[in-house]
Amino acid sequence: MDASFEAARKTGHPFLSVLIANRGEIAVRIERACKELGLRAIRVASEADRAGAAAPGEGGPLSIGPSAPARSYLNQAAILLAARVTGAEAIHPGYGFLSENAEFAEAVERAGLVFVGPPASAIRIMGDKIAAKRAMMAAGVPCVPGPGEPLPDNIDAVRATAEAIGYPVIVKAAGGGGGRGMRVVRDGADIADAVAITREEARRAFGKPELYVEKFLEHPRHVEFQVLCDNHGNAVWVGHRDCSVQRRHQKVVEEAPAPGIAPELAERIGARCAEACRQIGYRGVGTFEFLYEHGEFYFIEMNTRLQVEHPVTEATAGVDLVHEQLRSAQGDVLDTRRFRGETQGHAFECRINAEDPTTFVAAPGRISAVRFPSGPGIRVDTHVSAGYRVSPYYDSLIAKLIVHAPTRDEALRRMQVALSETRIEGISTNLPLHERIFADPDFMQGCVDIHHLEKRLREEAGVKA
């Protein structure tokens, strides 16, 4: 047992060892944070991840099951058994998989372990889009126009609600996410079919058929607010970021702070997000997602976990969000004096995926060679190296390239150079797409909407909008 671990034990904290119930770059990120705080980090892996390691050998992460996620990273019993076998005292879920599963959070607590995340009650409220909207309305957070109630079965009543909001509207699944379970309706004649199709999709994909309807915003940006909370009623916001560069509702590039947002408006929205956290008894890190159009914010959902794009906030706010998660789970009191919503400089993040740069079809395979850039203001979060085999079973994200500079223009140039210096051989990646994005005049000017990238891709393909 090393000296830092011994020092941590003397603090009287409820846990000194953390099982990381995830994989890939986020597992590496959490492991590093645990070590920095003097905590023992315990890694687990599926058979596919153990076999795909660049340097397979004895030891390494504990096996938790076959390659399929349902039999490994989503297998609650296997993860809890791994925690018991290894003597883990806490479980960090990372993002995806079980990170926003209220039942898993409860199972962890029942097993006498600490869940590094919010309480199950908060996950449950914010995981239901209707309940989340009601909670945000109660806290004074601005929401997209539309009732905070599920749609009735009577289609005439649904049509009346849509007409009261004003077309176009969007029909959404209450338990949806990831761009699924939603349909835009531009005319009353289409509302019945849209409701029927979305309700069945919601039932199959999410296990619950409840729907709701909101105003559809034509050209919004996607802007997020990061919050930190402890177990003692303290909550703060620590900056915002723009995630508008998307393809099929999936983020591709993120930046912080979101350009063109008036500081006084950001302060008002951030304060309301913090107040909402206090009202629902939130703990740990969380993200409020908004659509932003014509100078107004409209809440869409809250992610009750660490975000993929958290590094851009870390770079500009001067905070280690994983450290803060772990401290919150330990019961530490949040030092609110450290966080005033102020940021320094500008940061971008490119999500590098193993996929065909034209068709965007996943491209698993063995990486033969890798070269990532380095230097001032450059960060790479990754789990891959030469010899690593990208699995077809999981998300295609293999690395995140992050840059930070004093101004947005300097950060743009820094990312352009960093992308040109990045080499990943043996598989296809979306690096060419990122190079095109960072050469796009509209993106370079800032403030593009969520439809911009797909419009550009259609233009490049010679397809009329």
7 DSSP 8-state letter: H
Which one, of 147, 139, 142, 137, lies nearest residue 174 by Cα?
147
**Catalytic status, residue 305:** yes
Residue tagged active-site, from 305, 379, 389, 414 = 305
The DSSP output letter for 146 is S
Can you tell me the distance from the alpha carbon of 441 to that of 166, in angstroms, rounded to the nearest whole number? Answer: 34
240, 270 Cβ separation under 8 angstroms? yes
- CA-closest candidate to residue 378, choices 334, 413, 354: 413
The rounded distance, in Å, linking the Cα atoms of 189 and 172 is 18
Q: Helix, strand or coil for residue 76? A: helix
**217-246 exposure pattern, b = at least 16 Cβ within 10 A, e = fewer:** beebbbbbbbbbbbbeebbbbbbbbbbbbb
Categorise residue 67: left if φ over 0, alpha if ψ from -120 to 50, beta otherwise.
alpha
The 8 Å CB, 24+ separation contacts for 9-13 are 13/330, 13/331
Which residue is associated with the tokens 């992460």? 61
Q: Which residues are catalytic?
A: 305
